[in-house]
Amino acid sequence: MTGVRMRVPGISRRRFGDLFLFAFTSVELVLLILITPTFAIVDWIYVSEHLLVLWIAFTRPPAEVRDLSLPSSIAVVVSYAYPYAQVVYLRWASGNTAWPGVGLALVVLGACLSFASLLSLGRWFGVWPAFRGLATRGPYRLVRHPMYLAYMLADIGYGLYEYNSGTVMLVIAGWASLFYRIRAEERILSQDAGWPSYVALVRYRLLPGLW
């Protein structure tokens, strides 16, 4: 497919991507600290994740293939921006509370699953769809994209805390970007020789029995 797959020939490109990941994660970490009045266990999990990504940024191998197309770039930006957009919107327009207890449980579950997925990916983690290796252990033995499942669980959890029509629309846009990223990532991962056997073993992308 023209314009979708792009070889990464030199170390300079790798250093730019790693520096971008480091800078982007640093900004995320600062924003997390600024918008969190008091830190609970789930916040410390997210902080630990960001610190781990900072380490990964300078230890990961260069990508063999990377999708730098415009649609994938837009999906990446949207998927990273929509959680912060919800926070900003809720400060402008108050929301409704649905089920805080269940919401907290889902947020904690999502944070733990996200951290476990990041540990399983390790130095293969990246922002843009790319191939550095095929993760098959930990949560990746259950579904093919457990980190995105973690994001969705957290979205539902935070929505049960507080939601309004604006945040619902933002979540819909965010989930659409995640679904696009799944398709884009699997186009690249399918080039690996071990992909067919992995797909045969782990049939579902997000929810066992559904998709």
pLDDT at 8: 41
Which residues, at least 6 apart from 61, have a Cβ–Cβ distance to it below 8 Å?
Answer: 123, 124, 132, 133
Q: Please compute the mean of the pLDDT values over residues 117-131 and round it to a whole number.
A: 90
Q: Is 147 a residue whose pLDDT tops 80?
A: yes
pLDDT at 3 over 60: no
- Least confident span in 7-16, 34-43, 171-180: 7-16
62 close to 11: Cβ distance less than 8 angstroms = yes
Average pLDDT over all residues of the chain: 85
Per-residue pLDDT tens digits for 191-205: 999 999 999 999 999
